[in-house]
Structure formats: structure tokens, C-alpha cells
Structure 1
Amino acid sequence: MSYKVETIPTGDVLIGEGPHWDVETQSLYFVDIDNAIILRYDYKENKTYSAKVEGENCTSFIIPVEGENGNFAVGCDRNVAIVAWDGVSTSAKVVRNAYEVQTKFELNRLNDGKADPRGRLITGTIYKHPKDMFSTRNCELYSFEKGKPVALIKSDVGLSNGMTWNEKAGKFYFVDSLDYDVKEYDYDLETGVATNPKIVFKHASHLPDGVTIDTEGNIYIATYTGHTVYKVKPSTGEVLLEIKFPCKQITSVAFGGPNLDILYVTSSRLDDQPPPSGSTFKVTGLGAKGLPMTKVRV
């Protein structure tokens, strides 16, 4: 297969993460975590707009809120904040905090977050000590459903990371990077309960990070230490394709574009990684399509 990897214009990003393709605006939303910046890549303009979230020191995900045009659920430290942004201005404001978690764990923060196919927000925490992120398993994975208390999906999490769903098969895929694997769960879409974990991908040295899925049920796994996105068939664990990148720290993946056939890939330049680290890439020619991403209900 002949695929093509190119950068898109995003400006200077330290830790790109959390890509979310919004069909309505034909835009890719993502974050620069440690700079507390949210970004929007406009497909038609081939241009990226970015905004600092006022008063915050980190942003871990950004998802449009259903029914609230211009409002986004954004992970800000241990809060799920509702942030107002017009997609163009250089600053954005928190209008309310929807949820807070793990108030006793000051060195924990929210990490990856996505809306499940029913609009629940699923997100988990990591231990954010910069030199010792791998020393504890006091993190957790949560489900936030509108009008209901916060539900705990999983405790004993080391480093909560990527997630995606196969709605037809009733499966949920979750990455705890400390386990160096991707687990598949049976997922009840009516209740948001995940059960029966099974490892579908494991790598001896490449740290798995973000993950997405195509229309055929194959998952795409970004590796933070491996220059690579792996395309994997979960039912067999077979690696169908290794997509290579010119930088090491690949953070997350999302299908987008007018036909949902472009794979957008974020990266990090943490610890003085050389260019093009920190770029956001587009991969074309994969012969695969993704699924429309869901807005969150909060």
C-alpha cells in the first residue's frame, strides 16, 4: 500500500493531543497540553487557529458540546471545563466547570477524553510528575453522562490514554500506557459499562498512546516511543500496516476530511525532540475510512 505522510500548518506546538474531527465545521480540533492551548485546523482554509484558555495551565482534550454552539468540553487539570471559543480568537474562556475528579490527588490530571457513541464523556487521569509518571497506579477512568453522577469505569489505572468504540460489535478499546497494550472491552451502550477486558495489541517497547477505528473495525494505535501508527485487526491481533513518521513521539490519531479518509496524527516535541516533532500530520492513500466522531452531552 502506498500511503503519503504530510504536515499540516499548525504553528509551534509542544504536545499535540486529542484530535477530534468535527463534521459540521469540517475542522480538526486538538490541544497543546502543557501550554493550555486549544486549536482548530480549518480544512477548507488549510489554516490553524489557536487560543489560550484563560486561567488554565493545561488542556488535555477538546470536544464540541452537543446543542451548545461555540462551547467545548475541555480537560483542564482535574476539571472537565466548558470553554467558550469562536474558533478564531486567540483566547478562550471557561464558562463553567462541569465535573471535578480526584480532588485529593494534586499531582493527577485528566488526560485523553472522547465522547462515546451515545455522547457520554469518557476520560481518565494520569500522574503528572514530569520525571516519575510511571510510579503509581492511583489513576482512574470515568464516564460522565448528562444528568447522572460521575461513574467509575476502572480504577488501578497507570496512565489513562486513548480510547475508541466499535458500536456495531459493542466493543470499547482502551489504552493504559503503563500496561504497554490495548484492551478490548464488551461495552453496553445503554449503560456505559465496560466488562471482560482482553488484550488485542501489545508491544515490548513502543508505548501505546491514542487510538481510533475505521469502518471495518480495524484500530489505529499511535506509539509515543516508536515513530509508528499500527493498524491492527482486533479479532486476531494481526498488524495489518505500520505507518511510519519522521518523529518519535506520536501521540494520537483521528480520521477526518470531507470523506473521513484522511488520518490526522498529532505528535510531541517534549524533551527537545528535533523538528518535525510537534507537527500534526495527515496520512492519505490508506484506502480506509473512519466514523463520524460524536459530540459530548454535558
Structure 2
Amino acid sequence: MKTYTAEVYSTEKYQLGESPFYDSRTKTLSWVDISKGRLFTQGPDGVKKSFTFDKPIGAAVPSEKEGSYLVAGSDGIYLLDGEKASLIKNLSEYYEAYQRSNDAKADPAGRLWFGSSVNDDNHQASGNLFCLDKGKVSCKQADTKISNGMAWSSDRKKFYFSDSLQYAVFSYDYDLATGEISNRKVLFKVENGVSDGMCIDSEDNLWVAIWGGRRIECRSSKDGSLLARVNVDAQNVTSCCFMGDNLDTLFITTSGQGQTGEHDGCLFTCKLDTKGCQCDYVKA
């Protein structure tokens, strides 16, 4: 098993860093701080920009229009184009008052997949996995605990999904034409932490952030076996994506909430011996 060690990319700390993306078209990194409702971007010139919402945001996914994002908020899906955010789908009928959006990604057909989770410590973990397709929302997986990482296989026949408080990553059959998923199976269970966000590489292996585990695990999407580990100097590792001209470096987010370590809440990178895949874009 290969072992890597991540390096600190930025010493700025985020309360709940999440949703990292690398837009290969513009060589722009993006990530969010969920609790503070902020989206950050950083282009190839190294200049960091931010946009602040008045509510928690679970994720911001690049859209087909360069420089714009679909933002999964606590009450709806927003299109952020430049400095203007507009509500494109109200989610009040899909969420309880105490829930918010969590992780989100575009599938290979440009649909937006997003999960819901509880936004406080007073209610039992609950939520669903949804998909927004041509203005319509459908529930893809009901009764999730904390909907988190998502990925699709290179042949577009498999979907992978992390439900953190089921301590597992699941595999499904996936229909590209319809967006339907079926035949859910446990791909692997997580010990010493919980599965959070994830991405997939060019060999269809999954790179899964382990909250509470100070690491990212590389797992085979065929049988769930552990192939590699990335050690991260932060207790709660939240997600990762591939970045760079060769897509061979992991960009890693963490959470500093309730932690006192030197690098808890910082951003990290890690050069790997494998390459990732470009992210898919939402057809807004």
C-alpha cells in the first residue's frame, strides 16, 4: 500500500472547508466554508476572491458557463454568475426547517446532484440525495444520514456515494440517459473515522476523505480494497479533488471547527503517482 503525506497549501483556516473543485478550462480552484456561507475562488494568478451568502452553503459546483457556479444553499439552489446570485430552485418543499444542503456534484450529463443534512445538533441525522434536472428535483436515495461524496465511473455505468453516518461508501448501477440509479451495494465500510467527500481518478479508484481520521483513503471501485493512504495534518478531512495541468495533485479541504491543531481547517495538496479526471459541469 502506498503512503503519501499532504503538504499545507494555505495556513488560512476555515470553519468547515468543503466542496473543492478545479476547473481545467480556467485553471481555477474553488471551495466553500459551509458554516460561514462563503465561496472562494483562486485563479492561476494566485489571486483569491470570495462571495458571501447570508446562509450556510453546502457546495458550489462549476457550471457550463465559465466562471459561474451552481450553489447548494440551505433553502435553495442558486446560480452565481459574476457577483450576482439568483435563486433558480426553491427547496423549501424538500427540506425540513432544520436541514440544509450538503455536498453536491454534476453528473456526466450535467445534472446537479446534491444531498441534504441536519444543520444543528438538536435533531437526529436525516436527509435525502436529490438530483436537479431541467428544473425538476427528484429524490435519488431516500433516508440518508449525511449525504456526502459522489463519483461516476469512466464508463458511466456506476455511481458511488458516501453516506457518512452509515460509515460506508455505496456503489450503484447508473443510467446515463435517465440519471436513474439502482442495485445499491456496500462497496466498503470505514473504520476509525467516517467517509466524507471524494473524487475518482483515471483508473476508477476512489479517493475518500475520512472525517475524524486525519487521512484520505484510496479505494478500488471494484472491490473496495484499500490501495493507498494520504496522511493529512488535520483531524477532520472533508473532501478532495484533482488539480493542476496534469491532474496529478490532490487539493484537500479540512474543518477547523472545534479543533485546536496547528493546521486544522487549512487547505492541503498532495502530489500523486496517478492522474485524476476533469470535473463535470452543470448545465444550468
Q: How does the TM-score come out when normalised to structure 2?
A: 0.93
State whether structure 2 residue 104 is matched by structure 1 residue 107. Answer: no
Which residue of 225, 231, 236 maps to 1:244?
A: 231
* Range moving further from structure 2, 115-124 or 104-113: 104-113
Unpaired segments ≥5 residues, structure 2: none
State whether structure 2 residue 9 is matched by structure 1 residue 5. Answer: no
CA apart distance, 1:270:
0.7
Partner residue in 1 for 2:63: 65
CA apart distance, 1:268:
0.4
State whether structure 2 residue 112 is matched by structure 1 residue 118. Answer: no
Partner residue in 2 for 1:291: 277
CA apart distance, 1:236:
2.2
Partner residue in 1 for 2:74: 77
Q: Is the 8 A contact 1:78 1:103 kept in 2?
A: no
Partner residue in 2 for 1:144: 132
Residues 2 and 210 of structure 1: CA distance in aligned 2, closer, same or farther (over 3 Å): closer
The alignment partner of 1:24 has SS state of coil
Is the strand fraction higher in 1 or 2?
2
- Please give the alpha-carbon distance, in whole angstroms, between the structure 2 residues aligned to 1:243 and 1:228: 5
- Please give the alpha-carbon distance, in whole angstroms, between the structure 1 residues aligned to 2:79 and 2:160: 26
**AA matched with 1:237:** G
- Please give the alpha-carbon distance, in whole angstroms, between the structure 2 residues aligned to 1:104 and 1:242: 36
State whether structure 2 residue 170 is matched by structure 1 residue 183. Answer: yes
Instruction: Please report the RMSD computed on the Cα atoms of aligned residues, expressed in angstroms.
Output: 1.8
State the Cα deviation string for residues 200-240 of structure 1 (Å, max 9, x = none).
12123311100111110110110111001000112122101
Identical columns (%): 30
1:1-298 equivalences under 5 Å are 1=2, 3-9=4-10, 11-42=12-43, 44-53=44-53, 56-67=54-65, 69-85=66-82, 92-102=83-93, 105-129=96-120, 131-132=121-122, 135-137=124-126, 139-147=127-135, 149-168=136-155, 170-284=157-271, 286-298=272-284
Q: Is the 8 A contact 2:156 2:175 kept in 1?
A: no
* Range moving further from structure 2, 58-67 or 174-183: 58-67
Q: Is the 8 A contact 1:9 1:46 kept in 2?
A: no
- Please give the alpha-carbon distance, in whole angstroms, between the structure 1 residues aligned to 2:265 and 2:125: 27
CA apart distance, 1:3:
3.8
The alignment partner of 2:58 has SS state of coil
* Range moving further from structure 2, 227-236 or 107-116: 227-236
Residues 4 and 159 of structure 1: CA distance in aligned 2, closer, same or farther (over 3 Å): closer
Q: Is the 8 A contact 1:82 1:98 kept in 2?
A: no
**AA matched with 1:145:** D
* Range moving further from structure 2, 165-174 or 251-260: 165-174
State the Cα deviation string for residues 70-89 of structure 1 (Å, max 9, x = none).
4311011031111233xxxx
**AA matched with 1:79:** G
**AA matched with 1:125:** S
- Please give the alpha-carbon distance, in whole angstroms, between the structure 2 residues aligned to 1:47 and 1:275: 24
CA apart distance, 1:249:
0.4
Aligned pair count? Answer: 283
Q: Is the 8 A contact 2:198 2:239 kept in 1?
A: yes
CA apart distance, 1:63:
1.4
The alignment partner of 1:178 has SS state of helix
**AA matched with 2:55:** N
- Please give the alpha-carbon distance, in whole angstroms, between the structure 1 residues aligned to 2:41 and 2:237: 19
Question: Which one has more relative contact order, counting CA pairs under 8 Å at least 6 apart?
Answer: 2
Residues 230 and 2 of structure 1: CA distance in aligned 2, closer, same or farther (over 3 Å): closer
The alignment partner of 1:150 has SS state of strand
The alignment partner of 1:60 has SS state of strand
CA apart distance, 1:105:
0.8
Partner residue in 2 for 1:88: none
Q: Is the 8 A contact 1:102 1:108 kept in 2?
A: no
Q: Is the 8 A contact 1:10 1:48 kept in 2?
A: no
- Please give the alpha-carbon distance, in whole angstroms, between the structure 2 residues aligned to 1:154 and 1:290: 26
Residues 99 and 164 of structure 1: CA distance in aligned 2, closer, same or farther (over 3 Å): farther
- Please give the alpha-carbon distance, in whole angstroms, between the structure 2 residues aligned to 1:40 and 1:70: 9
Q: Is the 8 A contact 1:267 1:280 kept in 2?
A: yes
